[in-house]
Structure 1
Amino acid sequence: MTRNAVDVPVALLGYGTVGAAVHRLLDEQGDEIERATGHRLRVVRALVRDVDRDRPCSPGAGVLTTDFATIRDDPQVRLVAEVMGGLDPAGDHVVELLRRGTPVVTANKQLLARRGPELFEAAAGGGVQLRFEASVCAAIPVIKVLREALVVTNVHRVLGIVNGTTNFILSAMEGGQTYAEALAEAQRLGYAEADPAEDVGGLDAAAKTAILATVAFGSRVPVEWVEVEGIEGVTREHVAAARAMEMHVKLVARATLVGDLVDVRVGPALVDARHPLAAVEGAFNAVMLQGDAIREIMLEGPGAGGIETASAVVADMVSIVGTTGTGFLQNDPVWRELGRLPAGELASPWYLRLEVEDRAGVLARLAQELAAEGVSVARLVQQPADGHAVLHVVTHEAAQGGLERALAAIRALPESRGHASALPVVSDRGVEELGWA
């Protein structure tokens, strides 16, 4: 330590993969952090369930504890990083620390999405910072960009791939694997948990989308507002149909500001091959920000992994010690109250998959049902299949509600077979540019 460096004892809530990586980065990059901030961050406590469990690396004598009070009541601890995950007891621990005047960095997306107002109220009451970059897209600094670089920009849309597990699976399916094969491969490589439900069901992406929308629009967006659909229903047929139309299937997170109303959703979508998100492959994430002054910015990078998440945690810790006393980012990002766009009102181009009897007059009947709800066809591809036909349809932009009513009417037709389904289409090009007009 240099002569004028300030020693900053820190504590970790959790010492798993991420916690150990945070400790290692603070040790390995200590000189660089000190040169940048004049502070030397030193881990003195780490909360765990079992101090005797075997760990790949030793945190040092006396660091591990099972008693939260030893961290909460330790006057030398000046900063805490929460990397234990889950809502309980992590949430109560973080609230206690903030109220007592201890700044906190968290990587916990579910905690931020579900208890954000309480956490920021506690931070304001304690007069300390709460930072959460690692809760969304790990090493990609999208929260920092939104809160600092774009503070005076009217961001009206956030579009992204925010879950590396599902993007890996869908990329593998494009390579020819089935959903089950791709999931098994993701689990083997450590991209997916043994129980992957939160990832493949879209819940992980939904929490991240709620956080992004809250920060981008300056209004509380509860996770309950996010319309969620996972990738379990995506088949190789969807992938093949997308390829035939020069598209890719992606799990897309979208937050859209429409006047004073917000629409937030996560679900599979067909992404035009020329759209920037189409090129995001494997376990990578990307977030596109669109606004009045910036037009469009995209941030891309690894969105998961212990060292990637740890790097974002450490960056937030460095930011806190570098801005102590300024109150920067301790305040709730919410400064206004926006409503939720009524269900079904958001418009989009759509991809439809329909199964019908292969006989004269059926296409006209389908077109009639779509037109009755204001849905017009931009492109249609027909495939014969055992006495019936599978239709792959791309529509012009249409409101979701009208599309869903048209699909319900089509399903009720005697000529209809199977389940008529729809996925939104993401493209910067109009149907004329795509050659579908």
Structure 2
Amino acid sequence: MTIKIAFIGFGGVGQALAELLYTRKEDLFRLYGLNTQVVAVSDVMKGSVYHPEGLDIPTLLQEVKQTGSVSSYPDQPGLVKGWDSMETIEQSNADMIVEVTFTDVETGQPAIDHCKRAFRNKKSVVTTNKGPVALAYHPLAELAKENDVYWGFEGTVMSGTPALRMPYTSLAGNEISEIKGILNGTTNFMLTEMEKGSTYQDALAKAQSLGYAEADPTSDVEGYDVRYKAAILANYVMGYPLPSNEITCKGITELTQADIKEASTSNKRWKLLARVKKEGDRVTASVQPELLDSDDPLASITGPTNAIVYDCDMAGEIMLTGAGAGLTETGYSLLIDIIDYHRTKAPLIVHEEDA
């Protein structure tokens, strides 16, 4: 059977996934029996296009590159243009909504409403938006369960590095008492540059020039990005309803070159760490700079790399490290979820043309 996909949002991450679905199409079918068809794209800036029998991915990508819009997709019988995101979710024949809109992480919108509308219309969702998982995990997970649909969000913590899937697969059966990690590549890159002698401002400027930091770096340097990721780990992995605003949060803005040098003379390193810990029947979390001994595995993580450590009762400490950002990596995180969806929910779906 063919999984019909609608993109809600079609920026760099969405385009990266579309490219992967096209270039890896034969391998995905050969290895997993996965066959996909993009039937719709709806983007608040790039317009929208829908065809129930599928859209040509190279043409979509070419139109975006040349015109900045999907609305210039060539007209053909059955093609519909102009639907907004909600119309696309409700009226398209998609089985799977790829939700990759620009979302306000403080409110989780519009991604939360997109997930709700999709679930209520019996459509599955994969997303890289942190807001819905950090702010509304339990009600959204319950809504997905009620409607027997799939919700995937692997890319919300460490992009294409499977930080969420690993504890549920490879570490199954363990009780995880603590999770700690370096979950923001921008700040880790900046701290590495400061260890090389750069000032805070020079390290930030370099991070911005390389595309690691936004023009407004507040979410990264103040630790807010990591706080939402810690909330996701608490809610999803630990199963505890911990609101993100209850997580202690401090960024790296007060660290100076003198602090970095002093740590080095003591054979230590500063790292911005997230910690999520079970304490009896509660779970607590914090985000703050911490001094680590140089022989701590997390101390060796440099540059924009991310790492996470699971403290397990049987397996001991297990560390996973990899890229925490990047268009291809984040697009791949969505592909991980689509493959998992195919293995679990998709065999139950039959389209008329497949019958």
TM-score by length of 1: 0.70
What residue number does 1:172 align with?
193
Instruction: Name which of 162, 181, 197 aligns with 2:202.
Output: 181
Ranges in structure 2 where 5+ consecutive residues have no aligned partner:
49-62, 349-355
Instruction: Name which of 66, 75, 78 aligns with 2:95.
Output: 78
What residue number does 2:332 align with?
311
What residue number does 2:168 align with?
147
Shift, 1:214, TM fit: 2.1
Matched, 1:158 2:179: yes
- In the TM superposition, structure 1's runs of 4+ consecutive aligned residues that sit over 6 Å from their partners are none
Shift, 1:149, TM fit: 2.4
Amino acid at match of 2:274: A
What residue number does 1:39 align with?
34
Matched, 1:271 2:292: yes
Shift, 1:50, TM fit: 2.6
Give yes or no for contact 1:139–1:311 (8 Å, CA) kept in 2: yes
Matched, 1:56 2:65: yes
Distance in 1 separating the partners of 2:115 and 2:184: 25
Distance in 2 separating the partners of 1:296 and 1:188: 36
Most deviating of 72-81 and 291-300: 72-81
Distance in 2 separating the partners of 1:63 and 1:46: 11
Distance in 1 separating the partners of 2:279 and 2:26: 47
For the residue of structure 2 that corresponds to 1:296, the secondary structure is strand
Shift, 1:325, TM fit: 6.1
Give yes or no for contact 1:48–1:65 (8 Å, CA) kept in 2: no
Give yes or no for contact 1:157–1:290 (8 Å, CA) kept in 2: yes
Please list, as runs of the form range in 1=range in 2, the aligned pairs for 1:395-406 lying within 5 A after superposition: none
Shift, 1:21, TM fit: 0.5
Give yes or no for contact 1:33–1:39 (8 Å, CA) kept in 2: yes
Matched, 1:68 2:85: yes
Give yes or no for contact 2:160–2:329 (8 Å, CA) kept in 1: yes
Give yes or no for contact 2:247–2:287 (8 Å, CA) kept in 1: yes
Distance in 2 separating the partners of 1:217 and 1:91: 21
What residue number does 1:245 align with?
266
Shift, 1:64, TM fit: 7.3
Give yes or no for contact 1:46–1:63 (8 Å, CA) kept in 2: no
Could you report, residue by residue, the CA deviation over 1:229-261 in whole angstroms, capped at 9, with x for unpaired residues? 011101001100110111111101111112222
Give yes or no for contact 1:49–1:66 (8 Å, CA) kept in 2: no
What residue number does 1:18 align with?
13
Shift, 1:326, TM fit: 8.4
Amino acid at match of 1:182: A
Give yes or no for contact 1:178–1:236 (8 Å, CA) kept in 2: yes
Could you report, residue by residue, the CA deviation over 1:262-318 in whole angstroms, capped at 9, with x for unpaired residues? 220001111111011111111110000001011011000000111111110111011
Shift, 1:65, TM fit: 5.0
What residue number does 1:370 align with?
none
Distance in 1 separating the partners of 2:281 and 2:146: 29
Give yes or no for contact 2:112–2:131 (8 Å, CA) kept in 1: no
Could you report, residue by residue, the CA deviation over 1:163-188 in whole angstroms, capped at 9, with x for unpaired residues? 01111111111111111111111111
Distance in 1 separating the partners of 2:3 and 2:87: 17
Which is bigger in relative contact order (C-alpha 8 A, separation at least 6)? 2
Amino acid at match of 1:248: R
Distance in 2 separating the partners of 1:175 and 1:326: 53
Amino acid at match of 2:93: Q
Ranges in structure 1 where 5+ consecutive residues have no aligned partner:
1-5, 328-437
Taking structure 1 as reference, are residues 178 and 68 closer, same or farther at Cα in structure 2, changes over 3 Å only? same
For the residue of structure 1 that corresponds to 2:164, the secondary structure is helix
Give yes or no for contact 2:109–2:131 (8 Å, CA) kept in 1: no
Distance in 1 separating the partners of 2:315 and 2:137: 28
Amino acid at match of 2:199: T
Please list, as runs of the form range in 1=range in 2, the aligned pairs for 1:98-137 lying within 5 A after superposition: 98-137=119-158
Could you report, residue by residue, the CA deviation over 1:15-69 in whole angstroms, capped at 9, with x for unpaired residues? 1111111111111111111123323112221121133698337865469755124
Give yes or no for contact 1:50–1:66 (8 Å, CA) kept in 2: no
Give yes or no for contact 1:45–1:63 (8 Å, CA) kept in 2: no
Please list, as runs of the form range in 1=range in 2, the aligned pairs for 1:293-372 lying within 5 A after superposition: 293-324=314-345
Identify, as 1 or 2, the structure richer in strand.
1
Amino acid at match of 2:39: V
Identify, as 1 or 2, the structure richer in helix.
2
Distance in 1 separating the partners of 2:86 and 2:224: 32
Taking structure 1 as reference, are residues 64 and 303 closer, same or farther at Cα in structure 2, changes over 3 Å only? farther
Give yes or no for contact 2:240–2:282 (8 Å, CA) kept in 1: no
Matched, 1:88 2:109: yes
User: What is the percent sequence identity of the aligned residues?
Assistant: 34
Distance in 2 separating the partners of 1:140 and 1:64: 36
Distance in 2 separating the partners of 1:326 and 1:156: 35
Shift, 1:222, TM fit: 1.6
Q: Aligned residue pairs: how many?
A: 322
For the residue of structure 2 that corresponds to 1:9, the secondary structure is strand
